[in-house]
């Protein structure tokens, strides 16, 4: 286990940049492919090509930044976790460390932005339901 922890510490910045750029480009590419296939602003409009191209570029850039930042956050959590538990692996692992591990896993695998979005939508529905019950 010490060898894996040492590898992460030594090569952390290289791994972080490679994977974060990869997840950023992946998110931008998926967004580009979904929006460039005949996307229109609404059912009645057919905007000129320059408007569609600008819209696609802006949203693809947003997706790149969102996914790059999510992966970067995951790698930062992994680095903090490794530095914290490095001396005695099992003795230093606590409940807070499990939370760090979860965030790092979600960020490194590229699922952190979608997970946070899902949590925010769930909280919005929950508060809406509670508000509707309280106002009755």
pLDDT tens across 101-125, in order?
A: 899 999 888 888 888 889 999 999 9
Model pTM score:
0.72
Task: Calculate the alpha carbon distances from 8 to 13, 24, 35, 41, 68 in Å.
Answer: 9, 21, 37, 45, 19
Per-residue pLDDT tens over the stretch 62-104: 899 999 999 999 989 888 888 887 767 667 677 888 888 899 9
Give the model's pLDDT for residue 89.
64
Predicted confidence (pLDDT) at residue 40 exceeds the cutoff of 50: no
The pLDDT of residue 25 is 92
Task: Determine phi and psi for 92, rounding to 5 degrees.
Answer: -95, 0
Residue 2 and residue 76 in contact, taking contact as beta carbons nearer than 8 Å: no
136: which DSSP letter? -
């Amino acid at each position: 286990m010490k060898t894996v922890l040492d590898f992460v510490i030594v090569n952390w910045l290289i791994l972080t940049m490679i994977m974060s750029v990869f997840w950023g480009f992946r998110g931008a590419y998926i967004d580009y492919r979904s929006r460039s296939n005949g996307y229109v602003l609404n059912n009645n409009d057919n905007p000129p090509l320059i408007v569609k191209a600008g819209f696609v570029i802006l949203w693809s850039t947003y997706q790149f930044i969102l996914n790059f930042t999510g992966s970067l956050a995951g790698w930062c959590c992994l680095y903090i976790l490794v530095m914290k538990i490095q001396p005695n692996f099992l003795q230093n692992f606590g409940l807070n460390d499990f939370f760090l591990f979860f965030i790092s896993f979600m960020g490194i695998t590229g699922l952190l932005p979608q997970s946070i979005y899902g949590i925010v939508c769930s909280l919005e529905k929950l508060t809406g339901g509670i508000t509707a019950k309280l106002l009755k």
